[in-house]
Amino acid sequence: MMRMFEGLQPTAAMLLLLCAGCSGGGEASNSVDKTAKTPPVSFDTRLPLKMVMEHIITPAAFGVWGASGYELSEKGERDLAPRTDAEWEQVVNHAATLQESMNLLLLPGRVRDESWPGYVGAVSGVATRMLAAAEAHDEKTLARSGDELVEACEACHSAYQMPAAKYQRPDSHR
């Protein structure tokens, strides 16, 4: 059977044909019972919000801030934009982590009131834009969304009276 395809790249269509041939037909190959109930899950939310902020969300935010805009120092300004594919890939990692980590704030027990999800959504929206910008190696959008991210984090902090932010974005402008 395989000899037939020697030297050929199997295409998706070929694989489908092969599959249809070997499964013995449609329904039987579908082993997932869609009528089965989703088993109950319990989320582990023992990590205090403070820890989630400090050890999960902040490192991801710094990962994207560290690559957006310019850093000002006595020596002048330094462009923070990634230079190599590997550096861009790091930003993709951080932006994806940031976007996904917003779900942690929506787990049962973490939502404080009906305004909470809106603040979470604002950060996750910026993270989504940063992710797309990093994938497209788009420095301008990345720099602009760095500022939007500061605002989105701070909007929630001021709404929930988080005492003076214990984080600082690298001093920068664009």
Q: Which residues bind ligand HEC (CB under 6 A)?
A: 49-50, 53-54, 57-58, 61, 105, 116, 119-120, 123, 149, 153, 156-157, 160, 162, 166-167
Of 18 and 71, the one with the shorter C-beta distance to ligand HEC is 71
Burial (0-12, 13-18, 19+ Cβ within 10 Å), 143: buried
The count of residues in the chain is 174
Between 88 and 97, CB nearer to ligand HEC: 97
Q: What would the two tokens of residue 25 be?
A: 């037909």
Q: How far is the CB of 157 from ligand HEC (least distance, A)?
A: 5
In a 10 Å sphere around its CB, with 0-12 CB exposed, 13-18 middle and 19+ buried, how is residue 136 labelled? exposed
The residue among 147, 151, 153, 155 whose CA lies nearest residue 171 is 147
Nearer to ligand HEC, 70 or 167 (CB): 167
Q: Closest CB to ligand HEC among 134 and 149?
A: 149
* Smallest separation (angstroms) from ligand HEC to the CB of 53: 3
CB of 83 to ligand HEC, least distance (A): 24
Smallest distance from the beta carbon of 106 to ligand HEC, in angstroms?
9
Kindly report the number of other CB atoms within 10 A of residue 159's CB atom: 14
